[in-house]
Amino acid sequence: MKKFAALALAAVLTLSTLAGCAQKMSGTVATDGSTSMENVIGTLGEAFQNENSGVTFTYNPTGSGSGIQAVQEGRCDIGLSSRDLKDEETAQGLTATVLALDGIAVIVHPDNPVSDLDVDTIAKLYTGEITNWKDVGGADAEIVLIGREAGSGTRDGFESITGTSEKCQYRQELTSTGDVVTAVAQNPDAIGYASLASVADSVKALSVGGVAPSEDTVKDGSYPIQRPFVLVTRADAPLSEAAQAFFDFATSSNAAELISKAGAVAVS
């Protein structure tokens, strides 16, 4: 009898183990889009994968416009955009879920003596109305304007807030946030803009209208140049089990601390 009971218990444990294995999540989660969201999405993806070892998580940093197109065409599960969706994009069946808020930092070389500019002055720099640093308290040197490529969510956000859409006189239009930071770090006369989450010690972030960019000033709305980080999905195509699980995790309160550590402000 005891031997039978032991065998029965072993069978139950074996079935339980097999059931647990059967319920273990597997699959892939493919994300594509905003380079500004690299820190945030990378942090969330790593944490999710650590808890779900059977799932493969990928991030393709192509820019907001490309990410939106990728999810529209079914080439990824979740698109990543650092701007709101346009009316024509929502009309095509796309849905935007705001994951976090991000400040767009205006950056210069650390040796630049300028530390504060207001939005109007920043606009005058980027449209070519002001071309020399000496006119805003800097050295006697031509201002080198660095920005992002057309289709970038960071560029869209920056130009919309500063009122400079289609007016910026860029010297360089670069394809990633990291490239902008590097270009400004290498040129004492340059000015650029980049996601606050991506600003490194190699550059200096300016105060805007006397308000420094930070998590607190983005959260309370006092820092004027900020935009949303958005997860983009298709309304007519349910996410896979793995992709839905990541989406639910990323937008939960449990992810807020991770998003904060990655330099953005969670909205959940």
How confident is the prediction for the chain on average, in pLDDT?
Answer: 91
- Model pTM score: 0.78
Question: Which class would CATH give 102-226?
Answer: alpha beta
What pLDDT is stored for residue 263 in this prediction? 87
Helix (H) or strand (E) segment spanning residue 94 = strand 94-108
Instruction: Provide the residue ranges of all domains of the chain, joining segments of one domain with +.
Output: 28-101+228-266, 102-226
Domain spanning 28-101+228-266 has what CATH number?
A: 3.40.190.10
Going by C-alpha positions, the residue among 257, 261, 262, 249 that lies closest to residue 97 is: 249
What pLDDT is stored for residue 11 in this prediction? 40
pLDDT tens digits, 207-263? 999 999 998 999 999 999 999 999 999 999 999 999 999 999 999 999 999 999 998
CA dihedral in degrees (94, 95, 100, 103; nearest 10)? Answer: 40
Q: For residues 19 and 72, which has the higher predicted lDDT (pLDDT)?
A: 72
Residues 6+ apart with CB under 8 A from 260: 215, 266
Q: How far is CA 227 from the centre of its chain?
A: 10
Which residue's structure tokens are 């994300």?
Answer: 31
Residue 16 has pLDDT above 60, yes or no: no
Could you give the 3-state DSSP secondary structure of residue 195? strand
Average pLDDT over residues 131-157: 96
Average pLDDT over residues 48-52: 96
Average pLDDT over residues 106-124: 98
CA distance 6 to 8: 5
Looking at the chain, the number of H-run helices and the number of E-run strands are 10, 12
pLDDT band at residue 268 under the 50/70/90 scheme: confident
Fold match flag (28-101+228-266 vs 102-226): yes
User: Max CA-CA distance within the chain?
Assistant: 96
What pLDDT is stored for residue 37 in this prediction? 95
